[in-house]
Amino acid sequence: MPDTELSPALVRAESLIRSIPDYPEAGIIFRDITPLLADAEALQATTDAIIAPFAGQFDVVAGIEARGFILAGAAAIAAGVGLIPIRKAGKLPRPAASVDYALEYGTATIEMHDDLPAGSRVLLIDDVLATGGTLAAGRELVERLGSHVVGISVLFEIDGLGGREAIGDLHTVFHA
């Protein structure tokens, strides 16, 4: 079950997410959110649902590359706060910290600048929760750089991969 009651706009938004089998490799089902992003009403409803449980509790949104950037950017604008990108290794000119983590189908590294004032309250956003590795690494980065993650919100969670157990408390709009 989603963490929120689905409005008609959210039901429609969920229907716009396409499942692409065997991408990026055999056995993986990729969730394509492009049709959702292209629909203004669906994007607005989704953005509102992503931030609603944390309204007034955060100073900045951190989004994880790549699709998490899109959702985090929309959320930051809707909430009237700034955006901090968490990038894949080698994409930032002056990373302050990095964390290695395991993916569902490999390993990766993410990095972040230290542009946040110490003690900032951060809402961490990504598109999908699978095994939890990316979000756990994102939370570690934010906290390593002196800020506090007040909440984690994802567009959807893939049930059965252990992500919720790895992350703990988080907000999910949809389940796959």
Q: What is the mean pLDDT of the chain?
A: 92
Lowest-confidence range among 88-92, 93-97, 117-121, 134-138?
93-97
Residues belonging to the active site:
67, 104
User: What does the H/E/C string look like for the chain?
Assistant: CCCCCCCHHHHHHHHCCEEEECCCCCCCEEEECHHHHCCHHHHHHHHHHHHHHHCCCCCEEEEECCHHHHHHHHHHHHHCCEEEEEEECCCCCCCCEEEEEEECCEEEEEEECCCCCCCCEEEEEEEEECCCHHHHHHHHHHHHCCCEEEEEEEEEECCCCCHHHHHCCCEEEEEC
Is pLDDT of 25 > 90? no
Domains and CATH numbers, the chain: 47-175 (3.40.50.2020)
